[in-house]
Amino acid sequence: MAHHVLTLQCPDRPGIVAALATGIGRAGGNILDSAQFSDPGTGLFCVRTEFESPIEDPEEALALVGPELAAYSPDLTLRPKDRRRRALLMVSKIDHCLVDLLYRWDRGELPVDIPVVVSNHDALRGIVEYYGIPFEHVPVTPETKPAAEARLFELVDEHEVDVVVLARYMQVLSDDACRRLEGRAINIHHSFLPGFKGARPYHQAHERGVKLIGATAHYVTADLDEGPIIEQDVVRVSHTRSAEEMVRLGRDVEELVLSRAVAAHAEDRVFLCGSRTVVFSQ
């Protein structure tokens, strides 16, 4: 039996689940795990379902599942569970998020394929190629930025990329690129309670004596660092920690939060509902 993961999102109306279940039945399917949520704010209905079916081919399975659902015009995806989502990583010179993602990927803990890593610097080629992953150096200057983004989208198409992960990529994407990547580009940044604006936020946080350091992973939007939040976490710090140690501890939580967000996205657990996300937990 093939094991499929299906997602559905559409405006909520009665009958969606019945239509979906009828379709899964037509594909000889049996539901193993399913989560559904109707988002009150946007009126969107979100479904993630894992089911077994004798139909192995995803196109064929989708053709069997889909007919009754057509009336709801849903966003519908279906993939065999063992066909992993494909992530393109973008980095600059800071390596901790990259190294952590590669390490988890290598150990089989990050359920993605990584067809290519793109960087505006050549600095991290070594570690990427050590893991046997192609590294593409795409320099970015104000003049070459449009060409660099065009190259990015070529790579996204060429490698059939499902999600772009900004693993401490220090370039701002153009508004147009952000729009084209809506809901499929993930960024990570530090966060504090309370928030600190401006330069050297860890030093500001240290100066205020914060007791928690956090990080937020979110979808990229044109509004910098303000996209829909996928995952957040914090780590406790004491007065004995210097600002430099807080930077290091902050790196740890950035890595953890980013890897969790990428995994949740790659397992099709995240749904974008306006400015919020619905994340079905495991």
Q: What residues from 212 to 271 belong to the interface with its own copies (CB under 8 A)?
A: 212, 214, 216, 225-226, 228-234, 238-242, 248
Least CB distance from residue 78 to its own copies, whole Å?
16
Cα 198 from Cα 39, distance rounded (Å): 34
Q: Kindly tell me which of 49 and 119 has the beta carbon lying closer to its own copies.
A: 49
Q: Provide the H-helix boundaries in the chain.
A: 16-26, 58-65, 96-106, 125-130, 145-158, 175-180, 201-208, 243-266
- On whether the CB atoms of residues 41 and 274 are closer than 8 A, the answer is yes
Task: By CB under 8 A, tell whether 135 contacts its own copies.
Answer: no
Cα 1 from Cα 7, distance rounded (Å): 19
Cα 269 from Cα 265, distance rounded (Å): 6
Q: Kindly tell me which of 68 and 136 has the beta carbon lying closer to its own copies.
A: 68
Least CB distance from residue 262 to its own copies, whole Å?
15
Please give the structure tokens belonging to residue 158: 């060429």
Binding positions for its own copies, 161-200, rule CB under 8 A: 191-195
Is 100 an active-site residue?
no
Sign of CA dihedral 130, 125, 251, 271: negative
Contact pick of 33, 57, 129, 176 for its own copies (by CB under 8 A): 33
For residue 228, give the DSSP letter.
P
Binding positions for its own copies, 67-126, rule CB under 8 A: 96, 99, 103, 107, 109
Q: Kindly tell me which of 85 and 251 has the beta carbon lying closer to its own copies.
A: 251
Least CB distance from residue 191 to its own copies, whole Å?
4
Residues with a catalytic annotation lie at 225
